[in-house]
């Protein structure tokens, strides 16, 4: 399972550059030349790139026109289809409208859509999964599902299906959550990305000091008082997911 690190613009080389697997913020692709150029450089190196459709939690999509502009600039491997945290109906409505409007555009630039499984309980998540699977080849499971349903519980229910799945974020304990995912032995879980290693490092905390939850990451910050802590967290997170 690949690991990706979400880091502020000023520290992309220091932390996100450790891996070849990335989730990108669409607003920053439009607003920051440094951010865009970093990921264009990673694309040139053959890295795997996903453009998200949300820029904060709880997940709500940015304007689809801006999302497509960001996708056209970077031409990533995947784009996350607009979705809404823990809301199956809204997610499926957003997905249907987005694909109806932009699927041909995505095909023309070689970008595949990724559908996010959303729901407030297991039955809703499974309904969402079944509907998405009919129209989309890649699936994602957000951080919110860990608290409402449990991602491994959901994955066990869909284990026989081999669509590629990306895991978005860490809810609490990185070691436990990653070990639980790996224990499923699902080769189609292609990767996991998180900003938690950086959020903790900025507070001089290691990965096992995940409580209390650190504040959201400001991707425009230049504040990095404990770079050794952050680097250690990044290296450990990658090792947990990828091994040697």
pLDDT digits (tens, 9 = 90+) for 144-172: 998 889 999 999 999 888 899 999 999 99
The architecture in CATH of the region 2-196 reads Alpha-Beta Barrel (3.20)
Give Cα 166 distance to the centre of its chain. Answer: 7
Distances (CA, A) of 133 to 52, 85, 140, 165, 185: 19, 18, 11, 11, 21
**Quick one: pLDDT at residue 181?**
96
Entry pTM: 0.97
pLDDT under 70: residue ranges of the chain:
244
CA atoms within 13 A on the CB side of 141: 29
**Quick one: pLDDT at residue 55?**
86
Residue ranges covered by each domain of the chain? 2-196
Report how far residue 167's alpha carbon sits from residue 189's, in angstroms, rounded to the nearest whole number: 8
Query: 236, exposed or middle or buried, with CB in 10 Å at 0-12, 13-18, 19+?
Result: middle
Helices (H), 48-203: 64-74, 88-109, 122-133, 143-148, 151-157, 174-183, 196-201
**Quick one: pLDDT at residue 233?**
98
**Quick one: pLDDT at residue 160?**
85
**Quick one: pLDDT at residue 58?**
82
């Amino acid at each position: 399972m690949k690991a990706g690190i979400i880091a502020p613009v000023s520290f992309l080389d220091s932390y996100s550059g450790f891996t070849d697997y990335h989730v990108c913020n669409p607003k920053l692709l439009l607003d920051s030349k440094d951010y865009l150029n970093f990921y264009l450089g990673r694309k040139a190196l053959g890295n795997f790139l996903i453009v998200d459709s949300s820029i904060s939690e709880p997940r709500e999509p940015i304007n689809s026109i801006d999302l497509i502009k960001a996708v056209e600039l970077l031409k990533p491997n995947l784009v996350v289809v607009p979705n809404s945290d823990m809301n199956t109906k809204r997610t499926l409505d957003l997905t249907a409208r987005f694909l109806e409007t932009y699927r041909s555009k995505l095909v023309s630039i070689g970008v595949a859509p990724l559908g996010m499984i959303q729901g407030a309980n297991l039955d809703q998540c499974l309904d969402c999964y079944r509907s998405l699977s009919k129209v989309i080849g890649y699936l994602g499971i957000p951080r919110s599902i860990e608290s409402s349903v449990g991602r491994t519980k959901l994955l066990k229910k869909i284990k026989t299906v081999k669509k590629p799945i990306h895991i978005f974020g860490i809810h609490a304990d990185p070691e436990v959550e990653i070990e639980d995912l790996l224990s499923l032995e699902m080769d189609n879980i292609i990767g996991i990305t998180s900003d938690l290693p950086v959020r903790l490092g900025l507070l001089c905390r290691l990965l096992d000091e995940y409580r209390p939850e650190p504040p959201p990451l400001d991707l425009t910050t230049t504040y990095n008082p404990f770079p050794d802590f952050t680097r250690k967290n990044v290296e450990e997170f990658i090792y947990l997911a990828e091994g040697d």
